A and B are shown apart, each in its own frame.
Chain A
Amino acid sequence: MEKYIKPFVDASVGVFSSMVGLSVTVGRPYLCEINSPHEWDISGVIGLTGQARGAVVLSMKKDLALSITTALTEKAQQEINEDVVDAVGELINIIAGNAKKGLESDFKLVISLPTIVEGPKHRIAWPLEQTRIICIPFTTGDGNEFWLSVALESQQGA
């Protein structure tokens, strides 16, 4: 499964660096129970279908979401509004779309439109019957954190 994660990690690093202008470092991955409590304020979810099934989620706290949106719109953002939702959605969309290239030789995937969930202790509906997902923390150059969670299962026959 690990080679499936690398394209997402690379895409995340790439997107943050070229679009938001933030250099990020990837931290130590760990396991997350599917409905365990978290500290995230906003998450962008993209479903993956085709020759593999799963989802990829980008989660972060309000401050980072606001500063990202500010950077992208060149307008100061104070609260989570439709621009912030737009920005997070676009970020996860680009991460997923770019990651597809790294997975080309393994499967052909179709990505869904992004869904944004926000609010304290928001629940993310994962499409698989797993109970745990891989959660990868990232740290930005200015000390913020975001998390990328990935669950992916091949649908191809033996």
Chain B
Amino acid sequence: MESKNILVVDDSRIMRNIVKNTFATLNIPCTFFEAPNGKEALSMLEQHPIDLVLLDWNMPELSGIDFLKRVRAMPQYRDLPIVMVTSEAARYNVIEALKHGATDYIVKPVNERVFYEKLSKIIQLQP
């Protein structure tokens, strides 16, 4: 499998590192891109071809859910895998994210097994 580009979006640097480290346990060759909020994530998306976005919800400037809405409105990103990685555990949050086009939903604290189960499937669907 060729190297995948993963965009990690979270306002906490510590969290971005944790997400990167947990993703690394999947043993999928990849390059990481990071953004601390939705606005910078959008510009990252424009500059690089991304295969998977791991997206937090509560962030300054542009929140995860608003980033999701904007990205899904752009036809070229309709099928971009975007997985929420957030502390928001309530069902109404999960439903809202999925309704607006999130590919899947992971609740923090992150867990290797969950990452493996959900993400390996998604990333392998990519050509």
Contacts and interface: CB of A to CB of B under 8 A. Distances in A.
Do A and B touch each other in the complex, judged by CB within 8 A?
A: yes
Contacts of A101: 89-91
Interface string A67-79: 0010011000000
A81 to B, nearest CB: 11
A15 B14 contact: no
A104 B12 contact: no
Task: Classify chain A: how many residues form its interface, as a range.
Answer: 20 to 34
A100 B93 contact: yes
Task: Classify chain B: how many residues form its interface, as a range.
Answer: 20 to 34
B98 to A, nearest CB: 16
B70 interface: no
A128 interface: no
B14 A90 contact: yes
Contacts, number: 63
A14 B109 CA distance: 9
B103 interface: no
A19 B109 contact: yes
B14 A100 contact: no
A72 B87 contact: no
A152 B22 CA distance: 35
A113 B89 contact: no
Contacts of A90: 12, 14-15
Contacts of A14: 109
B87 A113 contact: no
A153 B92 CA distance: 20
B14 A96 contact: no
A103 B93 CA distance: 13
B14 A87 contact: yes
A137 interface: no
A109 B89 CA distance: 11
A18 interface: yes
Given A94-B108, A98-B87, A101-B89, A72 B18 contact: yes
A86 B14 contact: yes
A14 B17 CA distance: 20
B118 to A, nearest CB: 17
A128 B11 CA distance: 28
Interface of A: 14-15, 18-19, 69, 72-73, 83, 86-87, 89-90, 93-98, 100-101, 103-104, 108-109, 111-113
- Counting from the closest, the 3 A-B pairs by CB-CB distance are A97-B87, A101-B89, A100-B90
